[in-house]
A and B are shown apart, each in its own frame.
Chain A
Amino acid sequence: MTQLIFLPILFQACIAVLLLFFFGKVKIQKIISIAGSALNLAVAGGVFYVVRLEGSMAVQAGNWQAPFGITFVADTLAVTMVLLTAIVGFAVSIFSAYTLSGNRIRFGYFPVFHFLMMGLCGSFLTGDLFNMYVWFEITIITSFVLLTLGNEKEQLEGAVKYFAMNMLASLIFLTALGILYGLTGTLNMADLSGKLMAIENRGLVNVCALFFFFGFGIKAALFPMYFWLPDSYHTPPTAVTAVFAGLLTKVAVYALIRVFSLVFIPEAFFNNLFLIVGAFTILSGGIGSLVQNNIRKVFSYLIICHIGYMIIGLGLFTQAALAGMMFYLIHDIIIKTNLFLMSGMIIKIKGSTDIRQLGDIYNDHPRIALLFAISLFSVIGIPPLSGFWPKISLIWGGIEKSDYLSVGFILFGSFITLMAVARIWSKVFWKSSTVTAPPNAPLFFDQLSKRRRFWILFPVGFLSVVTLYIGFGADNIHLIASRIAEDLINVDAYIELVLGK
């Protein structure tokens, strides 16, 4: 039964290998990818269900016992992330099949996409830090390929920035691993948790923790290290950006959560560091989103802004704050993917990304505009929708710790988000536009067949339904989030599961 843990990783690997056999055959690849992603959704859902029912599971790869071999652990946090990955993967797979040009698919878009999904699932499920490094490398190698596929000038430029920063982050991460191994002689997270506490050289332990913070912080686009993100995320095709926005920064947030709850015991210094960095991340991301005119850059800055909430949640480190953080993470993965898919739709409809020129979408396509409104309102956190509930928990966590400054920043962040979204809504949806789609341009929305239009809209609709569920079924999600928060505070169960009694 515990073998089930490998399934999400291996299933993606099998799809990718199968796709490699059909390299260059566009139509077959599309079918395999969509069918595979749909099945993968079922697989991830199954694993999630089993873990919810029977509790966390751990399995030793290759049957090498715990601190020596590589452990894979499926606790509630990991399987939730895997399920979200599967949901995003399903939506993006359909979206890319219907929007990407044949050339990109011919050069191996789909196999690489599924390898990326495999890397993400692997980094969520592994219980070993070096193994996590390997999965991280898989995700960044595949993301480089997705970012450069198509070879346009701006894509290549964005890729250089993305490459340099992510490579540097990996090297910092690897340095931290080296120091950690030198200190403790193990890289199993559960084993580290006990052994690090006994080490007397606290200075070196803290330096090591700082290395982890900077390594993951670059990848998660935290305050002083986020500049690569808005410079590269808007260059590749929409489908690619949607995966990046939804999952790639969040996997680093996941790593931060894992490492700073399980491996390093939360200390006052790091909690304060998280609070300060989180506050500045909200501030800089929010202000950036207000001044940008490229719709995709506005959303890119919103990603940064909302990472700040999760980091503040991690810094507060109370039951309520952590539950809020997890709820926000769940909400954010779905909503950010959807925002970028929407920006792709807007580009398809109007042929421009400049919000000074865009407009008229509400006038021309009222029903599509309403569909988009669900996601936009959820980002702000209008009460019954999904962005509202996690903020309540986060604010409650702040009040519990009487950290009113952080509460203020959370409220301020929501306010800025409101302004950014209102700006998008009035300028892109309500204003009358100055551009018309050039008549000879390929693949504009109005010129597509009805069936194709439906399938381009389907992923957006699907993710909107998920968002609505997160909003209206908030008690279920909150239950999961609180369960994860409990696990993060009481790590003994995790350690016992991995190392045995």
Chain B
Amino acid sequence: MELLLAITIGLLYASGVYMVLRRSMVKLIIGIILIGNGVNFLIFLLGRITKGSTPIISENSDTFLEAYADPVPQALILTAIVISFGLQAFAIVLIKRVYKVLNTDDIDRLSHTEDYDIL
């Protein structure tokens, strides 16, 4: 399981970096999403995968009786997912707007900021 996850993480990071390095804005966002998922898996993997129950002590005992899953990585991942949900929604709307205004998806043609005068 660990090996499988490690390979998946590597693939997600690699493909994410590849996508970020492309010139298209849509691919940039896809790359960032892929790396984001890779990070979530990474936290999940490094938080030690335990095959056990939820970390809740049953009502008729004072301590854990069996192996339990570490709740912290799950909480971290959940938070990270929620944050990236908001950011990705924003990013998609942003590139849509940029596409509408500039009529291009090519990052190399985003060079209007060079000589810009705000009033």
Question: Do residues A164 and B28 form an inter-chain contact, with CB atoms below 8 A?
Answer: yes
Question: Do residues A160 and B94 form an inter-chain contact, with CB atoms below 8 A?
Answer: yes
Give, as a whole number of angstroms, the nearest-CB distance from A170 to chain B.
8
| B residues near A148, Cβ cutoff 8 Å | 94, 97
Q: Tell me if A179 is interfacial: C-beta within 8 Å of chain B.
A: yes
| B residues near A354, Cβ cutoff 8 Å | 117
Question: Do residues A175 and B39 form an inter-chain contact, with CB atoms below 8 A?
Answer: yes
Question: Do residues B113 and A174 form an inter-chain contact, with CB atoms below 8 A?
Answer: no
Q: Tell me if B67 is interfacial: C-beta within 8 Å of chain A.
A: no
| B residues near A178, Cβ cutoff 8 Å | 39, 42-43, 46-47, 76
Q: Tell me if A475 is interfacial: C-beta within 8 Å of chain B.
A: no
Given contacts A151-B101, A156-B101, A181-B72, 16 further A-B contacts (CB under 8 A): A141-B87, A144-B90, A154-B118, A164-B32, A167-B87, A171-B36, A175-B42, A178-B42, A178-B46, A181-B76, A235-B116, A236-B118, A294-B115, A294-B117, A347-B118, A354-B117
Question: Do residues A234 and B39 form an inter-chain contact, with CB atoms below 8 A?
Answer: no
Q: Tell me if B119 is interfacial: C-beta within 8 Å of chain A.
A: yes
A159 nearest in chain B by CB position? B94
**Contact residues, A215-268 vs B (CB, 8 A):** 231-232, 234-238
A180 nearest in chain B by CB position? B46
Give A contacts to B, CB under 8 Å.
Answer: 130, 134, 137, 140-141, 144-145, 148, 151-154, 156-161, 163-164, 167-168, 171, 174-175, 177-179, 181-183, 187, 231-232, 234-238, 294, 296, 347, 351-354, 441
| A residues near B20, Cβ cutoff 8 Å | 164, 168
Q: Tell me if B91 is interfacial: C-beta within 8 Å of chain A.
A: yes
Q: Is the interface of B mostly helix, strand, loop or mixed?
A: helix
Question: Do residues B32 and A174 form an inter-chain contact, with CB atoms below 8 A?
Answer: no
Question: Do residues B46 and A153 form an inter-chain contact, with CB atoms below 8 A?
Answer: no
Question: Do residues A171 and B39 form an inter-chain contact, with CB atoms below 8 A?
Answer: yes
Give, as a whole number of angstroms, the nearest-CB distance from B83 to chain A.
5
Is the interface on chain B under 10, 10 to 19, 20 to 34, or 35 or more residues? Answer: 35 or more
A164 nearest in chain B by CB position? B28
Tell me the complex Cα distance, A148–B19, Å: 24
Question: Do residues B76 and A130 form an inter-chain contact, with CB atoms below 8 A?
Answer: yes
Q: Tell me if B57 is interfacial: C-beta within 8 Å of chain A.
A: no
Given contacts A164-B28, A347-B118, contact A137 B113 (CB under 8 A): no
**What are 9 A-B pairs at a CB distance below 8 A?**
A134-B83, A144-B90, A148-B97, A153-B101, A167-B87, A174-B43, A234-B113, A234-B118, A235-B116
Give, as a whole number of angstroms, the nearest-CB distance from B31 to chain A.
9
| B residues near A168, Cβ cutoff 8 Å | 20, 32, 35
Contact digits for B32-72, partner A, Cβ 8 Å, 1 yes 0 no: 10011001001101111000000000000000000000001
Question: Do residues A157 and B39 form an inter-chain contact, with CB atoms below 8 A?
Answer: no
Give, as a whole number of angstroms, the nearest-CB distance from B72 to chain A.
7
Give B contacts to A, CB under 8 Å.
Answer: 20, 25, 28, 32, 35-36, 39, 42-43, 45-48, 72-73, 76, 79-80, 83, 86-87, 90-91, 94-95, 97-98, 101-102, 107, 110, 112-113, 115-119
| A residues near B47, Cβ cutoff 8 Å | 178, 181-182
Give, as a whole number of angstroms, the nearest-CB distance from B78 to chain A.
12
A438 nearest in chain B by CB position? B119
Question: Do residues B113 and A235 form an inter-chain contact, with CB atoms below 8 A?
Answer: yes
Question: Do residues A153 and B39 form an inter-chain contact, with CB atoms below 8 A?
Answer: no
Tell me the complex Cα distance, A231–B116, Å: 10
Contact of B112 among A145, A157, A174, A351 (CB under 8 A): A157
| B residues near A237, Cβ cutoff 8 Å | 118
Tell me the complex Cα distance, A214–B35, Å: 16
| B residues near A159, Cβ cutoff 8 Å | 94, 98
B76 nearest in chain A by CB position? A130
Contact of B73 among A134, A156, A181 (CB under 8 A): A181
Question: Do residues B115 and A137 form an inter-chain contact, with CB atoms below 8 A?
Answer: no
| A residues near B118, Cβ cutoff 8 Å | 152, 154, 234-238, 296, 347, 353
Give, as a whole number of angstroms, the nearest-CB distance from B87 to chain A.
6
Give, as a whole number of angstroms, the nearest-CB distance from B58 to chain A.
20
Give, as a whole number of angstroms, the nearest-CB distance from A160 to chain B.
6
Given contacts A174-B80, A347-B119, contact A160 B87 (CB under 8 A): no
B20, B46, B48: which has the most chain A beta carbons within 10 Å? B46
Give, as a whole number of angstroms, the nearest-CB distance from A422 to chain B.
24
Given contacts A144-B90, A156-B94, A164-B28, contact A294 B79 (CB under 8 A): no
Give, as a whole number of angstroms, the nearest-CB distance from A347 to chain B.
7
A293 nearest in chain B by CB position? B115
